[in-house]
Structure 1
Amino acid sequence: MSCSSIGRRLVACLLNISEARRPDLVETVARSAITDTQGRTREGVTVLNIFNDFDYNRSVITIVASIDLIREAVLSVCEHACSVIDMNAHEGVHPCMGAVDLVPLYPLGKEVGLEDCGQEAKALAIALTERVVGTSAFLFGWGDSPQHRGLAQRRKELGWFRKVQDISTIQPDVGQQPTRRYGITGVGASPYVMNCNVTIDTQDLSLGRFVASAIRESNPNGIPGVQVVALPHEGAVEIACNVESVKDSVTSLSCGQEPWPGFTIKGQHFYHAPASLITARVAELAAYYGVAVKGTALVGFTPCECWSLAEDALSKGIGEYWKELHRVHM
């Protein structure tokens, strides 16, 4: 099926917040996207999915709306999250720097471009720091104009991967000096990024880091578009991958597996590594050390799945779409 919308000018936001151990609270935060300050339903917005991870103490809320409506929906979630999450009390094995840790905007279909999402991301970052006094933001991707520095680069520059950070030394792109209460939020835009997590049956974190290094895009034999970190998770090690979409077709690298899925943004073609390839590569590397793969989890959807589900949700006026998916998969 072709991945294109029918004139809705859709944008997806896979918003990451630093809370998962209070799932009822996370759902209440997510509902802020589809309810205005007077408690009325916000038309034209849907929450497709809520993914909670207890060990990481991190949730991903997938919000979709037209580019004209996405800002207010996302800002409402950010405001609510900042009011109930205190980074002074946060614990979790996943790296994070903010109560609202990440606000990425992804164009869906062919009507909205990366430049459009970049402008919207910057406006969103400014609005957040104005509405919630004490918050601050760094920009990445098309929100970081004209440099367009990627998320991994920006995180590395700011010390996101370090377990202990002196947040007072961070220079934000938007807002005042970061406070420990809210931390700092990454806001930006890029082609769609999936999260594909592969768990290997070991507690040896050094082995996990070896596997992660071997499949990382920066490795000459790595997988294009894959940014990855190894983390302890539920008594095993998770190879947690951000799967970025890349411009050029790299299906020749799939070594006989299925072609890489693709989609179009305003005439530009993008592709992403399939989860099956990532899992196979991890399994091959781990097996060399006698370790098996326990499972693979795709956090959210592929770009075309996200578009298709959003069209279904919005055409039916379903704001709490994650509940529909939950019923289907029960």
Structure 2
Amino acid sequence: MEKIIECVPNFSASDEKTLKALTRCFEKHRVLLGYESDIDHNRAVITAAGKPQAVLKALIETVGVAVKHIDLNAHKGAHPRMGAVDVIPFVPIKNITKEEAVLISKKAAQKISQKYGIPVFLYAHSASSPNRVQLSDIRRGGFENMAAKMQSPEWKPDFGPNIPHKTAGVAACGVRDFLVAFNINLDTNDLRIAKKIASSIRESNGGIKGLKALGLELKSKNIVQVSMNITNTKSTSFFEIYQTVKKKARNFGVEIKNSELVGLAPMRILSSSIKEALKFDSFDDDKILEYLLWDRH
């Protein structure tokens, strides 16, 4: 049976020339599903999926393009980052175990460090120690402080030199579960409001289960954003998150301007939102015609 793995690398760039060069590698190997970028985040997310070998080849080539085009010394953006190729998540999709995916992530990390001299930390299910499971712990301090951080034995990279690449920084690579990036833009430019809402809804502060959140400024739009990662798509829904943010925003006298999905999302989180919003007695993926036909064929 054919094995399918997903790879969702995040790049610290948003200009069209760089994006075209990055996506061309995945297109060449016929594994590109889509990509999105944001000028304020100064970041791009590419989604690829296919046979492991094809995805791996495309990824290694794309990292080379990133090293050539991205210089973090000149990079400015609202989103935290530590590398030109900031994070490389793998997700097992079909006929592939988590253990097999971890081996692929380690192979990718090794090849990237050997070919381009980029230090790579293994994270999530691939992590080599408990303090490296969470991406935020690895990335804390950002590119500017990573050289000093890596002098500690605790933060020696899993692959590559013990000093950041001079322009490409460092990378994190590993296997994770489905993660959905969901952003809500507020109709205000008061960053304090976005940060307060983000702090109150994230799981680590007793908020919504499986939710990570940051308050960010979108200077080009003169608004602020509650930027979120949903790490457990079985425990929450878009609707629950949206309603919670709307209520908290109104407590500050602010309305939601719009929301956005970054990348792709599994059907189950969309289904759960439909069920909650429309108050269906029951609703699952089998109620969606296209999904049912696809599943049977």
- TM-score category (smaller protein): 0.7 to 0.9
CA contact (8 A) 1:97 1:185 kept: yes
Partner of 1:114: 98
CA contact (8 A) 1:244 1:272 kept: no
SS of the equivalent of 1:218 reads helix
The count of aligned residue pairs is 264
The offset of 1:165, in angstroms, is 2.2
Alignment of 1:160-309 (within 5 A): 160=141, 164-170=144-150, 171-176=156-161, 177-220=163-206, 222-233=207-218, 234-245=221-232, 271=234, 273-304=236-267
CA distance in 2 between counterparts of 1:166 and 1:216 reads 25
The offset of 1:71, in angstroms, is 1.4
The offset of 1:53, in angstroms, is 0.3
Partner of 2:277: none
The offset of 1:64, in angstroms, is 0.7
CA distance in 2 between counterparts of 1:68 and 1:179 reads 26
One-letter amino acid matched to 1:302: A
Partner of 2:281: none
CA contact (8 A) 1:275 1:298 kept: no
CA contact (8 A) 1:118 1:141 kept: no
Does 2:17 match 1:15? no
Partner of 1:131: 115
CA distance in 2 between counterparts of 1:178 and 1:158 reads 12
CA distance in 1 between counterparts of 2:31 and 2:139 reads 32
SS of the equivalent of 1:172 reads coil
One-letter amino acid matched to 1:136: P
Alignment of 1:57-68 (within 5 A): 57-68=42-53
One-letter amino acid matched to 2:226: I
CA distance in 2 between counterparts of 1:230 and 1:87 reads 22
The offset of 1:163, in angstroms, is 8.3
The offset of 1:9, in angstroms, is 1.7
CA contact (8 A) 1:114 1:191 kept: no
One-letter amino acid matched to 1:95: P
The offset of 1:147, in angstroms, is 4.0
CA distance in 2 between counterparts of 1:150 and 1:239 reads 23
CA distance in 2 between counterparts of 1:226 and 1:287 reads 21
CA contact (8 A) 1:23 1:52 kept: no
Task: Flag structure 1 segments of 5+ consecutive residues without an equivalent.
Answer: 1-6, 36-41, 246-260, 262-270, 316-330
The offset of 1:119, in angstroms, is 1.5
Give TM-score scaled by structure 1 length.
Answer: 0.74
CA distance in 1 between counterparts of 2:78 and 2:146 reads 18
Partner of 2:285: none
One-letter amino acid matched to 2:27: I
CA distance in 1 between counterparts of 2:58 and 2:236 reads 30
CA distance in 1 between counterparts of 2:104 and 2:9 reads 15
The offset of 1:191, in angstroms, is 0.7
Task: Flag structure 2 segments of 5+ consecutive residues without an equivalent.
Answer: 151-155, 269-289
Query: CA 1:102 to 1:158, structure 2 compared with 1: closer, same or farther past 3 Å?
Result: closer
One-letter amino acid matched to 1:165: N
CA distance in 1 between counterparts of 2:174 and 2:265 reads 19
CA distance in 1 between counterparts of 2:31 and 2:143 reads 34
Alignment of 1:81-160 (within 5 A): 81-109=66-94, 111-133=95-117, 135-145=118-128, 147=130, 149-152=132-135, 155-160=136-141
SS of the equivalent of 1:91 reads coil
Query: CA 1:149 to 1:25, structure 2 compared with 1: closer, same or farther past 3 Å?
Result: closer
CA distance in 1 between counterparts of 2:178 and 2:131 reads 15
CA contact (8 A) 1:126 1:174 kept: yes
One-letter amino acid matched to 1:10: I
Partner of 2:284: none
SS of the equivalent of 2:8 reads strand
